[in-house]
């Protein structure tokens, strides 16, 4: 479901991504019942996945904004020196 490079040993990460993806796709929770009926570990892992996805989206949006504004600096302000 998610195209990510994950180390072979990270089974729990793969499982968390899969569960969160399925829950989001189908609009359901992992177990029967409401949020308070869920295993706290599953809720923790789903929140971690959502947080990581949100941070990635924010980073990608910031990168698009920088690309859309040339060098990312206002007006004719000089560019900072590049690290060598």
* 18-28 pLDDT, tens digit each: 999 999 999 99
Phi, psi of 42 (to 5 degrees): -65, -40
What CA–CA distance (Å, rounded) separates 18 from 30?
11
pLDDT in tens, 67-80: 887 554 555 556 77
Question: For the chain, what are the domain ranges?
Answer: 11-62
Q: Is the pTM of this model over 0.85?
A: no
Cβ atoms of residues 46 and 24 within 8 Å: no
């Amino acid at each position: 479901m998610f195209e990510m490079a994950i180390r072979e040993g990270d089974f729990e990460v793969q499982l968390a991504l899969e569960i969160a993806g399925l829950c989001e796709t189908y609009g359901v929770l992992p177990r029967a019942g409401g949020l308070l009926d869920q295993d706290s570990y599953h809720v923790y892992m789903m929140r971690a996945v959502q947080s990581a996805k949100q941070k990635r989206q924010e980073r990608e949006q910031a990168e698009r904004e920088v690309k859309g504004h040339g060098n990312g600096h206002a007006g004719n302000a000089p560019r900072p020196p590049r690290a060598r």
